[in-house]
Amino acid sequence: MPGKLKARIVAGRHLPVMDRASDLTDAFVEVKFGNTTFKTDVCPKSLNPQWNSEWFKFEVDDEDLQDEPLQVTVLDHDTYSANDAIGKVYIDIDPLLCSEAASVISGWFPIYDTIHGIRGEINVLVKVELFNDLNRFRQSSCGVKFFCTTSIPRCYRAAMVHGFVEELVVNEDPEYQWIDRIRTPRASNEARQRLISLMSGELQRKIGLKVLEMGGNAVVGYLQCFDLEGESGLVVRAIGTACTLDKLSSGSAPNTNTHTHPNTAPASNACNSPSKDGKESPLAHGCRSTHNSPVHSACSTQRLSQNFSVSVPTLIFTGMGSGGSGGKDAGPLKTLLRQQTQTALEQREFPFFTLTSFPPGFLVHVGGVVSARSVKLLDRIHNPDEPETRDAWWEEIRQEIKSHAKALGCHAVVGYSESTSICEEVCILSASGTAAILNPRFMREGCLDIGIPDHRFEEPSPPSCGFCHIPYDELNMPFPAQLTYCYHCRRQKVPDVLFTTIDLPQEASVTGKGCLIQARLCRLKKKAQGEVNATAISNLLPFMEYELHTQLMNKLKMRSMNALFGLHIQISIGENMLLGLASATGVYLTALPAPGGIQIAGKTPGDLSNEHHISTIQKRINDTIAKNKELYQINPPELTEELVGSPIPEPRQRSRLFRSHSESSDEVSELDLSHGKKDAFVLEIDDTDAVEDIHSLLTDAPPPTGFYSCNTEVMPGINDWTSAVQMFTSVRVIRLSNANLTNQGLNKIFTELCENLLKSFYFKLRSMIPCCLCHLNFTVAVPEEELIQVAVTAVAMTFDKDQTQEKLADKPITKGTGETEEQLQFPLELCADSSLPNTQPPGSKISGVPESTNVSSRVSSLERSSPLPDGRSRSLRSTRSFGGSSVTVVKMTPLSFLPGTRIIKYLGIINMFFIRETTSLREEGGVSGFLHSFIAEVFAMVRAHVAALGGNAVVSYSMKECVFMENPNKNQAQCLINVSGDAVICVRETDQEPTLPANTGQSCTSAAEGTT
Amino acid sequence: MSVELDVFVGNTTIMDEEVYQLWLDGYTVNDAVKVRMEGGVMEECEASADVLLSDTMDQYRTFQMCERLLHSPTKLANQLLFQITPHRQAVLIERYYAFDDAFVREVLGKKLSKGTKKDLDDIGAKTGVTLKSCRRQFDNFKRVFKVVEELKGPLVENIRQHFLLSDKLARDYAAIVFFANNRFETGKRKLQYLTFQDFAFCAGQLINNWTVGAVDNMVEDMDVDLDKEFLQELKELKILIADKDLLDQHKSLVCTALRGKTKAFTEMEANFKNLSRGLVNIAAKLTNTKDVRDFFIDLVEKFIEPCRSDRWTAADMRLYLTHYTNSAHILDTFKHQVVWDRYMGVIKSCIFKMYHD
């Protein structure tokens, strides 16, 4: 009996009227855990009942504690008929199982009903007493911490990064069970909510076990997803990165000064010849992807033999044991490094990391994006206890990713993520990440301290450019690329363009600002069933991927940038079309060469009118590029010729742009996406599609003045965040009225949809200018034949305009906010020499504050006593002005931090799944009214749970699923939403905040005391 | 292609005060978009008409969802659905309960019943306030009326606490409730020149001095009903006009004090008895509910109009009423000084307010 769960029901408020006659309610509460149920007394005739119940005690296994949620049901007592349910609250007690997280759950929870939404609130107290369990064969994994955050959480230090953990569990979907025909929609929804809650608990527990086996104590970058496979079942799967985390206490000031870089560079590369004059190609920039479509038919496991390998498959592995590769450009140090890392990673089946930003020094080199997709036919999951098929599918894909990474000369994949898109019985599985070489010291036992000086030699290149240096051997390049010497250190080779799925490394040196770059694509497909359908889809995939990359590349050049971060490509299937959306943040990496312009060529030279046309377009393109350069402040330092010895490509060199003839499939099916041998990059203007494409290039409107946007954590080039944040979710669905749409027509509509969404955001948030939309996360879906759905979650953050312009000018310490590490994030811009001042590791400002039992009260007092904020930061204040409001303000952000604050404690993961259904759609304001209130309700429930844990913010928040179905004729609609994030306590950076990280510990404590 | 669904939800609820006002004023979404376009908000952020429409719809939806909470503003601070900063909450409530003076002038003193509600379209047409806005304002009056009806304690304070309104707005609502409860006639042509603020001021005077609450502050309806005992006592003042000696004595005292101080002296002297009869008769009749309703019209007819036709200035009025009130204290045979003061204090300030030059 390793645990005792105790719950107490205190009171309710704002209950709905359940008895029309008296306009009152006779409410009581059922508290259920596992199979045990307790009831409170009935509190007669009150809409604000006070139950003040005793402590209900459940004696349970810790395994159950991890799997099961506490279920609180509020009912209306009825003497003569059945009691009416008012609503339910599911409380995930996982945060209580970890000693470092929350100690008690106490607060007002919205009472939720899947048909009526929120119906009043209930005040609940929950505690857990855990007994030590010495059983070696235990099934529980209490105590393993989970974080959605895809970096090392801010008040921890990574002692060791163990690596990839994954798990999936399957079950029948209650919505498709026979019993669903006879039960009410409410019962069915509740069964589903409960099942998913159970399954995610189980999943988390199983992953926890794996982490314990590996010797870790936490999962970072935990990504859990649901696949609603319909008839064939329900899959809940998760991936994450197992780590051993040490909590930073106030005593152990974090290491700040780890990377003083030796100026002595390995000189071995002085006479390296320039790279071969490879033609640029859209897919060649470190992007490899394959489409593997073994289609499983419904009744057998017969495989279709189509195999779409889009990338160049013949590759010689570089580095490691195979002689004469890695050593060439980097000298023995690199080889040594590789060997060390290799051994550290070799034991791992999948050297994948779901992290997107890393402790300084962790990331050594980045190869490029690797991705794999595979089309599958779903069939019923017959035995929920053996999810082997699904496991095998993912295994396949991961193997593929792994081999792609190897081909890029990399031994690891970072920024790794997996996703699915399902339509009827066809499912696309996708995985993508960034091939990389990592520093092995984080993966070896006994080498925990990042400050140990003898590791210096492992970094032969400065951190501001080192990650750009190619990891592969230039003589055996995995794809034709144009290499030059690094524009930053001049010592090693860099590619001309770099695509990655990770966040921009903190220490990276960037010129100007970044911006959101999106490629959007629609492809019609014939309606089909089963295998035919799957084949059609897999045939389309390579073209889509290719075109998306072409678009990305062109748009990148239009903005005069040379690298993409946070690249995320989503391909979504519908019955009659495929949607592709690639989002990334473009930046100009100082280390990489300046991108050439875009040149347009006509097919029929000599035609005068045509030539004229071309020259006008060419002029417009050139003008746009020039304008963008100004807009994003891209003024790379002019390189002087005395730095010769290394070949500098002509700065004015133009790369020509290639458009694929995607319609003529024979050309591309040659599997050569690199177009290395062709006279590539000719943009043929007499092709009507090409005209469309150019127009779409030119019509991509830049954000209005005062706005920036990116899909990474923060905007490269903006450092002075002020404390105002506004997280938002927006969903838009359009109906395609015209049945005879062409691909071009669709593309235009889809592009407009995305652009208009962005315009709406800018307009709505105009009061926050100057402001940046960060972590813009677009999700597309085709919920029905003629519908396109786009859901966006992002956060708008204000910044201090004056200071960004001064860049590194002295930052007044008097500003209460903005003195976070962000300010120091890119300090290398102006000091491009190798004698660099050091970047601050992310943990340096964070110090543990002594554990306190009344954390929540202290936080609120902190907030109250903090200096009166300016108008923008009002939202951080608690709502206290109206006598006795008990609502804590909870901030939410998809980022891993809140500007102007320090996270002092992580309280546990928030992972919630809600279903909302209505049979009175019109009365609820139509589909928009219905979804608007549902999203607002989801936010409210997340905030309430966080507040009950004693927190005041959610970081790394994301809406992973938003499935919306409607039937306006029947006046019905249903929506499923899954959200997750990390509940935290954060405190305002106060004026007393120390400026030197060395004494962070003391001063932070005193700051906390001073405000208590 | 058509937009099927379009929502935007912020963790902190985003509300544009301009759109809120348009919503309160009863504009339809399309009209509101037009107004906003004319206001030039589009140029501000390179927005298009679509963007404006989408934003307006979102905001309207948000306001509709909030409206339920605004009906009991104390809930707004405790609810969990919308995260709204306290400052914003205060603005939302204050604006929601704000009303058009033109509209309230029309309903002031009327019974807040279904019957009146049916006439709202006429009132709307007359005042230029949209029907939607009229309904909101009327329902607000009714809601406040219903809530405070059953409460003990000072009226203004109750309104302020239950509806979280500013002091000024709470006082205005107190006036509306007070007028509705006593059904004061305000609609007659002769009263048309008076604004809502004139009446609100008078209501404040009456509430503070003539209600039960003026003497005892823990009674139900204390600030809504006039003090019956006091009204009875007012009958005693009749002696001032019934007793001829007293009337003459009063007159001579007032005239002595006024002589040489005003140009209107002759008219004052000539009209003294008439005016005094007018004021004392009003006092004596207040026991009848019917006469209470006609209180303001009587004041105008019996006092303000005669003075106006004699071209008294506001200063004359002040001078006259001050001496008229004070001189009564010197009358040896007049024993009802306390009642007199309580009566004349209110009458004085009401007439000052109601006497427009």
Amino acid in position A805 = Q
What residues of chain A, 731 to 770, have a C-beta less than 8 Å from chain B?
731-738, 749, 756, 759-766
Q: Do B65 and A927 touch (CB under 8 A)?
A: no
Q: Do B2 and A734 touch (CB under 8 A)?
A: yes
- pLDDT of A641 > 60? The answer is no
Q: Which residues of B touch A931 (CB under 8 A)?
A: 5, 7
- Identify the top-confidence range among A254-263, A307-316, A816-825, A901-910: A901-910
Of A301-310, A452-461, B12-21, give the lowest mean pLDDT range.
A301-310
Of A52-66, A454-468, A876-890, give the lowest mean pLDDT range.
A876-890
CA A258/CA A253 separation, integer angstroms? 13
> Which chain B residue has the Cα nearest residue A926?
B5
Q: Do A734 and B3 touch (CB under 8 A)?
A: yes
For the segment A581-591, the average pLDDT, to the nearest whole number, is 92
- pLDDT of A858 > 80? The answer is no
pLDDT bucket at A812, cuts 50 / 70 / 90: very low
Closest of B100, B6, B269 to residue A925, by C-alpha = B6
pLDDT bucket at A268, cuts 50 / 70 / 90: very low
CA A15/CA A26 separation, integer angstroms? 10
CB of A347 less than 8 A from some CB of B: no
For the segment A968-991, the average pLDDT, to the nearest whole number, is 88
Q: Do B85 and A787 touch (CB under 8 A)?
A: no
Q: Do B80 and A704 touch (CB under 8 A)?
A: no
- pLDDT of A869 > 70? The answer is no
- pLDDT of A860 > 50? The answer is no
pLDDT digits 0-9 by tens, A31-42: 999 889 999 999
Pairing mode of beta strands A493-495, B2-10: unpaired
pLDDT digits 0-9 by tens, B299-314: 999 899 988 888 888 8
Write b or e for each residue in A561-579: b if 16 or more Cβ atoms lie within 10 A of its Cβ, otherwise e. Answer: bbbbbbbbbbbbbbbbbbb
pLDDT of residue A696: 67
Tell me the two tokens of residue B107: 């309903």
Residue with the bigger pLDDT between A49 and A817: it is A49
- pLDDT of A424 > 90? The answer is no
Closest of A592, A646, A12 to residue A267, by C-alpha = A646
pLDDT of residue A129: 84
For the segment A136-144, the average pLDDT, to the nearest whole number, is 67
Lookup result for tokens 């780890």: A258
> In this structure, are residues A938 and A1011 in contact, taking their beta carbons and an 8 Å threshold?
no
Q: Which residues of A touch B45 (CB under 8 A)?
A: 704, 762-763, 766
Residue with the bigger pLDDT between B333 and A423: it is A423
For the segment A424-446, the average pLDDT, to the nearest whole number, is 81
CB of A943 less than 8 A from some CB of B: yes
In angstroms, what separates the C-alpha of A718 from chain B's closest C-alpha?
21
Which residue of B1, B46, B89 is in closest CB contact with A749? B1
pLDDT of residue A325: 29
Of A523-532, A831-840, B265-274, give the lowest mean pLDDT range.
A831-840
Of A646-650, A976-980, B350-354, give the lowest mean pLDDT range.
A646-650
> In this structure, are residues A147 and A220 in contact, taking their beta carbons and an 8 Å threshold?
yes
Model ipTM value: 0.88
Q: Do B7 and A937 touch (CB under 8 A)?
A: no
In angstroms, what separates the C-alpha of B147 from chain A's closest C-alpha?
16
pLDDT of residue A460: 52
Q: Which residues of A touch B66 (CB under 8 A)?
A: none
pLDDT of residue A138: 60
> Which chain B residue has the Cα nearest residue A887?
B78
Q: Do A932 and B7 touch (CB under 8 A)?
A: yes
Best mutation site among A737, A752, A933 for testing chain B: the one with the most B CBs within 10 Å? A933
Phi, psi at B215, each rounded to 5°: -110, -35
- pLDDT of A59 > 80? The answer is yes
pLDDT of residue B316: 87
Of A195-204, B111-120, B207-216, give the lowest mean pLDDT range.
B207-216
Amino acid in position B268 = M
- Identify the top-confidence range among A436-450, A571-585, A853-867: A571-585
Residue with the bigger pLDDT between A852 and A955: it is A955
> In this structure, are residues A226 and A420 in contact, taking their beta carbons and an 8 Å threshold?
no
pLDDT of residue A377: 87
Contacts of A543 (CB under 8 A, 6+ apart): A523, A660, A662, A665, A668
pLDDT of residue A518: 93
Residue with the bigger pLDDT between A702 and A835: it is A702
pLDDT bucket at A480, cuts 50 / 70 / 90: low
pLDDT of residue A872: 37
Q: Which residues of B touch A937 (CB under 8 A)?
A: 81
Of A446-460, A499-513, B253-267, B327-341, give the lowest mean pLDDT range.
A446-460
pLDDT of residue A956: 94
Cα dist from A145 to A153, A308, A769, whole Å: 11, 40, 38
pLDDT digits 0-9 by tens, A596-605: 777 777 665 5
- pLDDT of B53 > 90? The answer is yes
Best mutation site among B3, B8, B41 for testing chain A: the one with the most A CBs within 10 Å? B8
pLDDT of residue A690: 63
Query: Percent of chain A, pLDDT > 90?
Result: 29
pLDDT of residue A566: 93
Bridge partner list, A242:
A163, A219
pLDDT of residue A383: 62
pLDDT of residue A125: 95
Q: Which residues of B touch A736 (CB under 8 A)?
A: 1
The three-state secondary structure class of A427 is: strand
What residues of chain A, 448 to 477, have a C-beta less than 8 Å from chain B?
none
Q: Do A766 and B45 touch (CB under 8 A)?
A: yes
Best mutation site among B11, B41, B161 for testing chain A: the one with the most A CBs within 10 Å? B11
Q: Do B7 and A737 touch (CB under 8 A)?
A: no
pLDDT digits 0-9 by tens, B130-142: 999 999 999 999 9
Q: What is the largest CA-CA distance in chain B?
A: 92
Closest of B150, B99, B98 to residue B120, by C-alpha = B99
Which residue of A14, A732, A766 is in closest CB contact with B3? A732
Task: Supply the DSSP string of A343-396, one letter for each residue.
Answer: HHHHT-S--B---SS--TTSEEEEEEEEEEEEEEE------TT--HHHHHHHHH
- pLDDT of A525 > 80? The answer is yes
Residue with the bigger pLDDT between A873 and A911: it is A911
pLDDT of residue A11: 94
Instruction: Give this prediction's pTM.
Output: 0.82
Q: Which ranges of A663-800 would DSSP assign to H, the alpha helix?
A: 665-668, 688-699, 743-764
pLDDT of residue A56: 94
In angstroms, what separates the C-alpha of B78 from chain A's closest C-alpha?
5
Best mutation site among B60, B80, B94, B161 for testing chain A: the one with the most A CBs within 10 Å? B80
- pLDDT of A653 > 70? The answer is no
CB of A726 less than 8 A from some CB of B: yes
> DSSP code of A50?
B
CB of A237 less than 8 A from some CB of B: no
What residues of chain A, 97 to 136, have a C-beta less than 8 Å from chain B?
108, 110, 118, 121
CA A432/CA A366 separation, integer angstroms? 14
Residue with the bigger pLDDT between A83 and A446: it is A83
CB of A13 less than 8 A from some CB of B: yes
How far is C-alpha B185 from the geometric centre of its chain's CA atoms?
13
Best mutation site among B3, B12, B69, B71 for testing chain A: the one with the most A CBs within 10 Å? B12
What residues of chain A, 278 to 307, have a C-beta less than 8 Å from chain B?
none
Q: Do A890 and B83 touch (CB under 8 A)?
A: yes
Contacts of A134 (CB under 8 A, 6+ apart): none
Q: Do B87 and A874 touch (CB under 8 A)?
A: yes
- pLDDT of B254 > 70? The answer is yes
Work out the mean pLDDT of chain A and round it to a whole number: 73
Which residue of A765, A874, A882 is in closest CB contact with B77? A882
CB of A186 less than 8 A from some CB of B: no
Helical pair B265-285 and B314-330, crossing angle rounded to 10 deg: 70
pLDDT digits 0-9 by tens, A314-368: 222 222 222 222 333 334 444 444 555 555 555 567 889 999 988 887 888 888 8
Which residue of A727, A732, A764 is in closest CB contact with B5? A732
Cβ burial of A531 (10 Å; 0-12, 13-18, 19+) is: middle
- pLDDT of A83 > 90? The answer is no
- pLDDT of B40 > 90? The answer is no
CA A385/CA A383 separation, integer angstroms? 5
Tell me the two tokens of residue A820: 């976070």
Tell me the two tokens of residue A890: 């909870």
> Which chain A residue has the Cα nearest residue B73?
A882
Q: Which residues of A touch B83 (CB under 8 A)?
A: 875, 887, 889-890, 939-940, 943
Which residue of A738, A875, A944 is in closest CB contact with B80? A944
In angstroms, what separates the C-alpha of B240 from chain A's closest C-alpha?
52
Q: Do B86 and A877 touch (CB under 8 A)?
A: yes
- pLDDT of A660 > 60? The answer is no
Q: Which residues of B touch A765 (CB under 8 A)?
A: 14
pLDDT of residue A298: 30
B154: preceding bond cis by omega (within 30 degrees): no
> Which chain B residue has the Cα nearest residue A706?
B45
For the segment B148-152, the average pLDDT, to the nearest whole number, is 82
CA A239/CA A354 separation, integer angstroms? 8
- Identify the top-confidence range among A347-351, A417-421, A804-808: A417-421
CA B57/CA A926 separation, integer angstroms? 12
The three-state secondary structure class of A656 is: strand
Which residue of A764, A889, A925 is in closest CB contact with B55? A764
Pairing mode of beta strands A145-146, A218-228: parallel
For the segment A700-712, the average pLDDT, to the nearest whole number, is 86
Q: Do A932 and B87 touch (CB under 8 A)?
A: no
